[in-house]
Chain A
Amino acid sequence: MHIAEGMLPVAVCVAGYGTMAATTWYTLRKLNQQPDPRAGIPKASLLAAGFFVLSLISIPIPPASVHLILGGLMGILLGWYAFPAILVALFFQAVMFQHGGLTTLGVNATVIGAPALLAHLAFQAAKHLKVAAPGQRLGVGITGLLIGSMTLFIEVLLFYGVLLLSVRFQAAVNAALEQAALTTAVVAYLPLMLLEGLFTAMVLLFLLRVSPALLGMQPAAAAPTRATATERPAEHPAEQGEPV
């Protein structure tokens, strides 16, 4: 879900860079409040590269196939690093595949990065409310399903909202057709939202079973994992409840 070069008027491109700069400043400020912000850089970068590669996996929906964006999962696993990670991945995509672009980088980063930060906040809230906890597999699953679906829903709204706003900026638009286009887009994405939510939930349940530290959780006492077997004290922020 990338807006290509040339699709947006320059005012929207500049506004996109403005929101990107403000969000980057805020996330860097949050990261700089951590004891050692550079400690998370390799983890965030390698996980971002992992997400980049995962987005290339195609899920068959005959007669075509779809690629997942996994913005919600990125927000959950990377925390405040999600926005810079998405920015870096989008820059790389623009350079490597000409997917997206330099003039639209700000808008694309905002469209995908801002919902990922909301996903991070939503998961932290679910953890705080003990809905998502090591022993609560159902709670973690439902949280993942909702966060995965809603993140894509917000991305779709922002993506088509920006596109329609840009068209309206440059020419008169038939309001009924505009409404129909937005509704069609959202309806067309509904199965994908469900799939994204389901996939996010299943990856979260897998990580909860195999490596709960990645979710910033201690393993449940009833279900020992590799982390408990070694009885290693929590020394990494991820193991103390903070995302990487």
Chain B
Amino acid sequence: MNTQWLDAYAHLDSLLHRWEPRSKLIALVGLLFAFAAISDVRLVPVMLALSIALYAMSRLPLTFLLSRLRYPGALLLVFVGVLPFIAGEQVVLRVGLLALHHEGLLLALLTSARFAAILTTSLVLFGTTAFLTIVRTLAMLGVPALLVDMLFFFYRYLATIAENLSTMQRAMHLRGFRARRPDWRTITMLAALAGSLLIRSYEQSERVYQAMRLRGYGHTPPVRHQHQSRAHPHDRLLFGGTLACAGALVAANSLLLAL
């Protein structure tokens, strides 16, 4: 499992790449929640236009967006496919026992648009910032040290453990194991594989912990990540502009619902 691609486009140069991480994280997460708050279909074009504009500003390749949309998009399709049948009262079309509802269709459209806008914006956030910078920024914003440490460890050892699993699976394969059906033997073998991997991870963690103890881990209070980078005028402009857009969207949504 290669985790390097996470930062594949973090080195590009764009206004969003240069945006100071702390204000970028706060502003873009604020915008994500503003998108989630949209419940009026008339705001769908505005929401999509905003997310597309942000993506264009980030200079991330379109193939990156399309490849990341594919898997969660397939899961979402199942949900929005069911919505018109279970939600709503005004029948548009009746197919046998099933009825297609107007409100359900609108909700499916709204859900799909929210999904696309939120996912595109979150890709802008994670595509233009290195993963470790995101974790350090979370620490600066007051996320507990235990969670931050766990994130660092998780990120550091995920590929190693995935490689362990891959080696063990290859060894099983070479000894003739093929998982074809969920019979007793297959489950026993896979359970032994899972148990062995967990024991390996546990033993490795013991070695890692002992090595870290020797280097002082646990003897000193957790390091608080200090805010070092200085905010430039363009950071303030992007921060203010993004949050203003988020606020305007939420206000427009409330206004349209009240009308």
- Interface presence of B6 (CB below 8 A): yes
Interface bin, chain A: 35 or more
Contact B195 A210 (CB under 8 A): yes
Contact A214 B149 (CB under 8 A): no
- Interface presence of B140 (CB below 8 A): no
Contacts of A123 in B (CB 8 A): none
Inter-chain CA distance A170–B111, complex, in Å, is 10
Contact B157 A46 (CB under 8 A): yes
Cross-interface CB contact of A45 among B89, B150, B199, cutoff 8 Å: B150
Contact B36 A87 (CB under 8 A): no
Contacts of B122 in A (CB 8 A): 5, 94, 98, 101-102
Contacts of A87 in B (CB 8 A): 147
- Interface presence of B115 (CB below 8 A): yes
Contact B197 A53 (CB under 8 A): yes
Within the complex, what minimum Cβ distance (angstroms) separates A107 from chain B?
11
Inter-chain CA distance A70–B197, complex, in Å, is 14
| B196-214 vs A, Cβ < 8 Å mask (1 yes, 0 no) | 1111111011101100100
Cross-interface CB contact of A5 among B115, B191, B193, B197, cutoff 8 Å: B115
Contact B162 A53 (CB under 8 A): yes
Contacts of A10 in B (CB 8 A): 33, 36-37
Cross-interface CB contact of B88 among A50, A77, A172, cutoff 8 Å: A172
Inter-chain CA distance A160–B143, complex, in Å, is 29
Within the complex, what minimum Cβ distance (angstroms) separates A11 from chain B?
9
Query: Which parts of A45-87 form the interface with B (CB within 8 Å)?
Result: 45-54, 56-62, 70, 77, 84-85, 87
Inter-chain CA distance A59–B86, complex, in Å, is 32
Query: Which parts of B56-105 form the interface with A (CB within 8 Å)?
Result: 68-69, 71-72, 75-76, 79, 82-83, 85-89, 101, 103-104
Contacts of B157 in A (CB 8 A): 45-46, 49
Contact A6 B154 (CB under 8 A): no
Known contacts A42-B205, A98-B72; 7 further A-B pairs (Cβ under 8 A): A5-B118, A6-B114, A45-B157, A46-B157, A54-B165, A88-B147, A174-B86
Q: Write the residues of chain B forming the contact surface with A, with a CB cutoff of 8 angstroms.
A: 1, 3, 6, 29, 32-33, 35-37, 39, 68-69, 71-72, 75-76, 79, 82-83, 85-89, 101, 103-104, 107, 110-119, 122-123, 126, 131, 134, 144, 146-147, 149-151, 153-155, 157-158, 161-162, 165, 179-182, 186-188, 190-202, 204-206, 208-209, 212, 217-218, 222
Q: Write the residues of chain A forming the contact surface with B, with a CB cutoff of 8 angstroms.
A: 2, 4-10, 13-14, 24, 28, 31, 36-39, 41-54, 56-62, 70, 77, 84-85, 87-89, 91-92, 94-99, 101-103, 163, 167, 170-174, 177-178, 181, 195, 198-199, 202-203, 205-207, 210-211, 214, 244
Q: List 12 A-B contacts (CB under 8 A).
A: A7-B111, A45-B150, A60-B180, A91-B151, A92-B151, A92-B154, A103-B118, A167-B87, A171-B101, A172-B103, A210-B196, A211-B202
